[in-house]
Structure 1
Amino acid sequence: MFATDQPTTHMKGEGDAPGADALHSLFYTASRHYKEFCAMNAAVRLGLFDALEEPLTLTGLCTACNLKLPATEHLVELLCELGLLCRKEGHYRNTPLSALYLVSSSPLFQGAVMRDIQNGFALWERLDRVLRKGPLDVMEEAFFENGMVDSLAAEILCGELQKTVDAVAAIPAFQQARSLLDLGGGHGLYAIALSRLNPELRATVFDFPDIARKAEEVMAAHGADRVRFVSGNLFTDDLGSDHDVIFLSYNPGGKNPALLKRIHDALKPGGLFVTKHVYYRKGEGSKDRLLDLEWSLSAFKGVGKEDNIYRFTGDLSWEAYRDLLERHFTIREILEADAFSGHPLAKFGDRLDSRMIVAVKKRQGIV
């Protein structure tokens, strides 16, 4: 057995046993990438990138962050290999990439995204339990309030927000709009950005009460005095009326015909409806098995999740949703994900093959 690199088998009928390289390659990729993430996450949590806004020696960094050798030396050299630090004449400093996204004072700081990924790992560690006993029950409000809103906000600041609002602002009718309703708007960044592109626009972010504190913090930080937060349930509470624009992005009820009727009723004739979601065609199965498995780990109380990620009880297929929409709205534009979405992160929040639809309300009613 020790004289050959080839696997040995004495099991009858198996024939030539496969080498382990293919399996070990899977182990290697998973193991290395997980450990690299842990290294980056520790560096962020311990303030290493904050300290290295200015060059520091290894000793100086250990003093500034209360770190110990030899692990710190291995960490910073690994971060150099990953392109997050550079070393020159014995001093370490952030690269432009880490300076922009991993320093806590940066407007584009991605620490919340890293925390969300880490929280996801903790959920995956309970996979055995889920496979035997079923999904873990969570409150939908708590799910989004517990760091998820921060993560989604940080993610969209890296390009999706800008691409989305630019597409909306390019519509001539948007510049005449005076009232915008951002349904399930969470962090409020879309409403804030759109209000800046139209100085006459007043916006309302409508979402769960538990998200109000975070949304109001974001509004205050951006000086958004023309944006307000209203707490409520999209399906049962008053959405107002005669809105010029309604914006709906990645909401659990986003493909439900009952919500579409409420949106239609809340818009004025000729009003804009902008909706951005992942749609499933009739008969379509999985878009991503890994994300489907993650989707199955938890269940929202009071919300019927189907088998595939972003699929909910009551959702219309892409064909049925578009047909219903075209009966009561005029579709102006449909954008594919490449035109507005960010980089996938292999977690809840990935855009997959989402579409953004820009439509105008027709004058007849909806049934």
Structure 2
Amino acid sequence: MRKKSDSRVEESRYVYGLFSGRMRAQALLTALELRVFDHLSFPLSSEELSATLQCHPANTGALLDSLAAAELLEKKEGRYCNEQCADDLLNSESQNYIGKILLLMHRMSADVVSDMTRLVKDGPFADHSGFGNEEIWVDYARTVGNYHKGGMMQDIAGIVSGIEGFSSFGNMLDLGGGPGLYCIGIVSESESMKGVVFDRPGVLRVAEEFIAEYGMRDRISVKSGDYLADSIGEGYDLIWASSTLNFARSDLDRLMMKIHDALVPGGVFVSLAEGLTDEGTKPDFYVLENLSYALTGFNQVFRKGEIAGAMHRAGFVSVDSMTVETPMMPMEMDIARKKT
């Protein structure tokens, strides 16, 4: 039987651990900003690294000790070296680098984090003009594109290409497609399919860069507009939407009908989005990261089954749902088919 005193120690350490998370996160962000991990694929002393980075020697050593405590670095005989996960994910030379998206997520939430008490006490401020800032979304698209290139593009393309009838699909639409990497990956799984990436004009500049990089200009085009208000085209065999339907959550049924009508008979709509469970408290990563949006009045997250329900209401004859494990969190993929 566990002693009560032992339980109290465990509980206290859990809460203290939560509190120390703020320093873990800030140490990681500081290291990313200084590109610490880029220089520690091989062991260096704090003095050697501080000279390379032109940083304060003693404070560099304190930061490195903290990163070692967080098990991102190994310290041996006074020299520091990346642990495997840091070399794979936090070294900007790695194809799996996620540092850029971590820094972007930090920048997008920093103001809310610093003002959280006031927001909880007084409520959200009314200004959401940042959501209309084109340059923010351009930067976001480029950053997310690099994240998708780290393996997500290939994983998703593998799943979608397994959908019944995929080999006969001729045209696809990537709705709110951002950098267009998912469209590139999916189209690449077919010998003849062509694709359209639909998004804001500025964001599409990023998509065009990736389309050119992958040599897909002859098979993938772009279409600019607001999918809530503008035509999205028609005659598609496949429509794909990833983490974008949130902007239509308050009017999801109308958008779902538009998607349904844009498909040919027998066409397929695939959505990849969060799907909260446990009364909206899981996955913990997404709930916590969404807090910065929720506190400013933009809490448009989906519960598990919500998108599938809208698909049924729009008239899709079948909806299959599955959980997809991604590097950030588990996500819900809903696959709906239009009547033939």
Partner residue of 2:114? Answer: 125
Partner residue of 2:211? Answer: 219
Equivalent AA in structure 2 for residue 73 of structure 1: G
Q: Are the equivalent residues in 1 in contact too, given 2:174–2:195 (CA < 8 A)?
A: yes
| Counterpart pick for 2:242 among 244, 249, 256 | 249
Give the Cα–Cα distance (whole angstroms) in 2 for the partners of residues 83 and 23 of structure 1: 22
TM-score normalised by L of structure 1? 0.74
TM-score normalised by L of structure 2? 0.80
Q: Are the equivalent residues in 2 in contact too, given 1:178–1:244 (CA < 8 A)?
A: yes
Equivalent AA in structure 2 for residue 121 of structure 1: A
Partner residue of 2:321? Answer: 334
| Counterpart pick for 2:51 among 63, 66, 81 | 63
Give the Cα–Cα distance (whole angstroms) in 2 for the partners of residues 241 and 150 of structure 1: 27
Does residue 238 in structure 1 map to residue 231 in structure 2?
yes
Give the Å deviation of 1:29: 2.9
Give the Cα–Cα distance (whole angstroms) in 2 for the partners of residues 361 and 162 of structure 1: 26
Give the Cα–Cα distance (whole angstroms) in 2 for the partners of residues 244 and 103 of structure 1: 40
Does residue 343 in structure 1 map to residue 323 in structure 2?
no
Q: Are the equivalent residues in 1 in contact too, given 2:196–2:222 (CA < 8 A)?
A: yes
Q: Are the equivalent residues in 2 in contact too, given 1:112–1:147 (CA < 8 A)?
A: no
Decide whether aligned partners of structure 1 residues 134 and 122 sit closer, same or farther in structure 2, where only a CA change above 3 A counts: closer
Does residue 182 in structure 1 map to residue 182 in structure 2?
no
Partner residue of 1:228? Answer: 221
Give the Cα–Cα distance (whole angstroms) in 1 for the partners of residues 43 and 13 of structure 2: 39
Give the Cα–Cα distance (whole angstroms) in 2 for the partners of residues 285 and 88 of structure 1: 46
Give the Å deviation of 1:320: 4.3
Q: Are the equivalent residues in 2 in contact too, given 1:270–1:360 (CA < 8 A)?
A: yes
Does residue 105 in structure 1 map to residue 93 in structure 2?
yes
What's the Cα RMSD here?
A: 3.3
Q: Are the equivalent residues in 2 in contact too, given 1:50–1:104 (CA < 8 A)?
A: yes
After superposition, give the CA deviation of every residue in 1:321-362 in whole Å (9 maximum; x if it has no partner): 25314x33333x3112xx333334xxxxxx6xx521222221
| Counterpart pick for 2:301 among 310, 315, 327 | 310
Give the Å deviation of 1:246: 0.5
Give the Å deviation of 1:86: 2.6
Partner residue of 1:273? Answer: 269
| Counterpart pick for 1:259 among 250, 255, 262 | 255
Which is greater in Rg?
1
Q: Percent identity?
A: 24
More helix by proportion, 1 or 2? 2
After superposition, residues 274-289 of structure 1 pair within 5 angstroms as 274-278=270-274, 286-287=280-281
Give the Cα–Cα distance (whole angstroms) in 1 for the partners of residues 160 and 142 of structure 2: 23
Equivalent AA in structure 1 for residue 338 of structure 2: K
Give the Å deviation of 1:219: 3.2
Give the Cα–Cα distance (whole angstroms) in 2 for the partners of residues 228 and 318 of structure 1: 27
Give the Cα–Cα distance (whole angstroms) in 2 for the partners of residues 140 and 334 of structure 1: 30
Give the Cα–Cα distance (whole angstroms) in 1 for the partners of residues 75 and 214 of structure 2: 36
Give the Å deviation of 1:90: 4.7
After superposition, residues 46-61 of structure 1 pair within 5 angstroms as 46-61=34-49
Instruction: Provide runs of 4+ in structure 1 moved above 6 Å.
Output: 19-24
After superposition, residues 82-101 of structure 1 pair within 5 angstroms as 82-88=70-76, 90-101=78-89
Decide whether aligned partners of structure 1 residues 151 and 30 sit closer, same or farther in structure 2, where only a CA change above 3 A counts: farther
SS, match of residue 362 in structure 1: coil
After superposition, residues 10-21 of structure 1 pair within 5 angstroms as none
Does residue 355 in structure 1 map to residue 340 in structure 2?
no
SS, match of residue 269 in structure 1: strand
Unaligned 5+ runs, structure 2: 1-7
